[in-house]
Amino acid sequence: GQQVMQIPQYQHVQEGEDFTTYCNSSTTLSNIQWYKQRPGGHPVFLIQLVKSGEVKKQKRLTFQFGEAKKNSSLHITATQTTDVGTYFCAGDNYGQNFVFGPGTRLSVLP
Amino acid sequence: KAGVTQTPRYLIKTRGQQVTLSCSPISGHRSVSWYQQTPGQGLQFLFEYFSETQRNKGNFPGRFSGRQFSNSRSEMNVSTLELGDSALYLCASRWMGQGNEKLFFGSGTQLSVL
């Protein structure tokens, strides 16, 4: 079955440093979504990428979808303590269920 | 618009018992999905219901079952509980319209099996 992997599993950064998490699917995806889960909270939708090679920005967050639609990345510029949480990618395999990656837990030291 | 509501928030059960969890989706959302979240395994897909029919099913044993009612509310049942079933159970709803497939999660039910 479809598998979605994410690296790294954990990332500790100093406030102001950049952060990147990578997501790879074993199969081609129709679209990919990113979610953020704060400690003690539930996942919250961040963005959806649909087109091959698509790049989207939300303030300090930059999302990319690979040309082959099998990988994606989330980059945060100049992290802040409010960025703390676990970031999940979720791949949509053409109408099947979303398959979530294991997540990358981000810690930001002030 | 009210968000996704899950009840109860916490549950403590013993091995062998059964449990039923409830999820009320956002008004107008006809799809409800269930996920199991554990610290080591991330979010594991259980099943998805759409218009009272199971649309997709994950790789979980038959002890895990669900249903959806005509008002889109969904229930998940776990029979013969095992210690390994301890987890946060999240439900998510979505509006099945083109280009608007994002999931809205509830706060989850934290199940502890003793």
Q: Do B33 and A97 touch (CB under 8 A)?
A: yes
Three-class SS state of B84: helix
Pull the structure tokens for residue B34. Answer: 């269930």
- Which residues on chain A are in Cβ contact (under 8 Å) with B59? 1
- B42 band by pLDDT with thresholds 50, 70 and 90: confident
The whole-number average pLDDT for the span A45-66 is 97
Q: Phi first, then psi: what are they for B69, rounded to 5°?
A: -95, 170
Report the alpha-carbon distance of residue B17 to residue B13 in Å, rounded: 7
**In chain A, what percentage of residues exceed pLDDT 90?**
89
Q: Burial code of A1-25, b = ≥16 C-beta within 10 A, e = fewer? A: eeebebeeeebeeeeeeebebbbbb
- What's the token pair of residue B50? 């759409």
Predicted confidence band at B100 (pLDDT cuts at 50, 70, 90)?
A: low
Residue A102 CB coordination number (10 Å): 18
- For residue B98, what pLDDT band results from cuts at 50, 70 and 90? low
Question: Which residue of B45, B90, B99 is in closest CB contact with A97?
Answer: B45
- What does the pLDDT read at residue A97? 77
